[in-house]
Chains A and B, each alone.
Chain A
Amino acid sequence: MADHKQKITADEVGYVAKLARLALSDNEAKGFTDILNDILAYMDKLSEIDTADIEPMTHAIPNTNVMRDDIVVPSEDPAGIIGNAPDTKGTLLRVPKVIE
């Protein structure tokens, strides 16, 4: 369905992939461009519905104000969480040097 009316270009797909730290081959980038164009074209179909009088929603559930009281719950098994990291030093996680 990817026709002359492109919704998203291969360059934009490459940019988004980079932001998401995804390494795409040229072929993959082309493939995703086609797929995303199809999806975006389908979105156009949804846009045909008049939503002028409808409040935008951010959630499928009509719940609001789900909150908890400010009570400390002891941290369970931090060692287990740290154990998931590929590299540690003592209880600290170790990563390649990052400095801005």
Chain B
Amino acid sequence: MNYQAVIGLEVHAQMLTDSKIFCGCSTKFGAEPNSSICPVCTAQPGVLPVLNKKVVEFGIKTALATHGEVCDGSWFARKNYFYPDLPKGYQISQYEHPLARGGHVEIETDGGKKKIGLTRIHMEEDAGKLLHDEHAPQSYVDLNRTGVPLLEIVSEPDINSPQEAGAYLKKLRSILRYLEVCDGNMEEGSFRCDANVSVRPAGAHELGTRTELKNMNSFRNVEKALEYEIKRQVQVLEDGGRVNQETRLWNDARDITESMRSKEEAHDYRYFPDPDLVALTVDHRWIEQIRQSLPELPDHKVERFVCDYGIPHYDAQVLCAEKEMADYFEAVVRENAPPKQASNWIMTELMRELKENRRDIADSPINPVDFAGLINLIEAGTISGKIAKTVFSEMAKTGKTAQEIVRSQGLTQISDPTRIEEVIRRVVGGFPKEAADFRAGKERLLGFFVGRVMKETQGKANPQLVNDLLQKVLSEP
């Protein structure tokens, strides 16, 4: 039987505020354990949490950027449970009245564009961090992260494959980064994802029993975990069994999901409105003010790049995934580099170089002006594309401009037909048998001669001219 997977994702995005959501403690990552704590975030008696306005602003920004509706009134609620990383015995979150509802994120699938609906966006505080002792039966608690602001972004179950889930997460992360509300670092946990997944016979309307997947700390792991879990559920059904509604953890070392054996009653959270915090009513002027301040978002930028620069849709998407990369491209084009050439070179050489050295475009070893300089040398015919790759590596290594490197290493392309023809005649004269074979119809040998000529000129001969002139010389009787 054919099955359809139904997936909904819950994303927790850490907000890039300076201070925590309900107190003035720093949110800085990597501080000494338990140094950014105060009576409020550690739940000392008699303290009063006060909402950080920036968190609301970031939440509204995110809602507007994903076409959601900011609710007129929203409240905070206490989510009650006991865990050592939660000093209050409850997490301040939002339940019945979230900050925003609705909206969507558009993704590209094999079948074209698809809108993934959003259920809600709400604000909440993060819990502390637990460190487990490898050798003794004890754990350690660091409360620096307690109270760091999070946005929880809940999708509708509109996702039908691991690939779609990956595309949705990448797009959402890209939007949050464009908005500068979250750094989107999955490994460090500032962008976390849980998944609800079920399967049903293709064409069925009723949903199957779902499981909740946790502990996936990279895009790749999310896709792998979903892949595994969908197969597992289909197998259970095919064997005549029933899927248990449960939470499962992704085991990265073993590439499987495992049932999380925990007390199910722990999930009775007894939400109720937090009496310490008053209601929030977002007025329309504030929303409009934030709307005006929104930056150009990825979808719009992609369209503009296709339209203004005439580059393929695919290129535009790759370039616009990161705002900094898109800015880099535009800076290169501003230096009069042809857009298609610029996007080709960024997407191949530059992206490879950055990836190999694990660098962000922000610390690119080559600035956009020098990068444009390289492309313009190719365009002007001063160097060949092949030589340009060598020049590129040299630029990345030394920080010199393409001009300097070409001049000091004598890499200027030979475009003088007389000089090239001279080399060609010498080469052809040195291989009379091959020349005769070529003339007898063995046209594949052209490549052999091109290689020889290039070798003679240290790769500097203009390839087009070499081709043309070789044809000419070899066709002489």
Contacts and interface: CB of A to CB of B under 8 A. Distances in A.
A13 to B, nearest CB: 14
Interface centre among B23, B136, B139, B262 (most CB of A within 10 A): B139
Interface in B17-65: 17-19, 23-26, 32-39, 42, 44, 50-56
Nearest to B142: A92
A67 interface: yes
Contact of A92 (B23, B38, B75, B141): B141
Contacts of A92: 33-34, 131, 140-142
A92 B138 CA distance: 12
A78 B34 contact: yes
Assign chain B's interface to a size class. Answer: 35 or more
Contacts of A23: none
A72 B138 contact: no
A91 B132 CA distance: 15
A73 B26 CA distance: 7
Contacts of B130: 98
A100 B280 CA distance: 35
B24 A73 contact: yes
Given A81-B44, A92-B131, A98 B53 contact: no
Contact of B50 (A21, A67, A99): A67
Nearest to B50: A68
A67 B53 contact: yes
A61 interface: yes
A23 to B, nearest CB: 14
- Looking at chain A, what size class is its interface with the partner chain? 35 or more
Contacts of A21: 82
B140 A75 contact: no
Interface in B116-134: 130-133
A68 B53 contact: yes
B38 A76 contact: yes
Contacts of A58: 75, 273, 275, 279
Contacts of B281: 64-65
B51 A68 contact: yes
A96 B141 CA distance: 11
Contact of A59 (B19, B39, B50, B278): B278
B260 interface: yes
Given A75-B26, A75-B36, A76-B38, A70 B17 contact: yes
A97 B38 contact: no
Say what secondary structure dominates the interface of chain B. loop
A95 to B, nearest CB: 4
B139 A59 contact: no
Contact of A72 (B18, B33, B133, B143): B18
Nearest to A67: B53
Interface string B428-448: 000000000000000000000
A98 B84 CA distance: 8
Which residue of A15, A64, A71, A92 has the most chain B CB atoms within 10 A of its CB atom? A92
B81 to A, nearest CB: 8
Contact of A68 (B52, B83, B270): B52
A94 B141 CA distance: 6
Nearest to A81: B42
B37 A81 contact: yes
Contacts of B19: 70-73
A95 B35 contact: no
Which of A63, A68, A76 gathers the greatest number of chain B CB atoms within 10 Å? A68
Given A72-B25, A96-B139, 18 more contacts: A59-B275, A64-B280, A65-B278, A69-B54, A70-B19, A70-B54, A73-B25, A73-B38, A76-B38, A81-B34, A81-B38, A90-B33, A93-B84, A94-B140, A95-B139, A95-B141, A97-B132, A97-B139
Interface of A: 15, 18-19, 21, 58-59, 61, 63-73, 75-76, 78, 81-82, 84, 89-100
Interface of B: 17-19, 23-26, 32-39, 42, 44, 50-56, 73, 75, 80, 82-84, 130-133, 136-143, 249, 260, 262, 265, 268, 270, 273, 275, 277-281
7 contacts: A70-B19, A70-B54, A71-B18, A90-B33, A92-B34, A92-B140, A93-B84
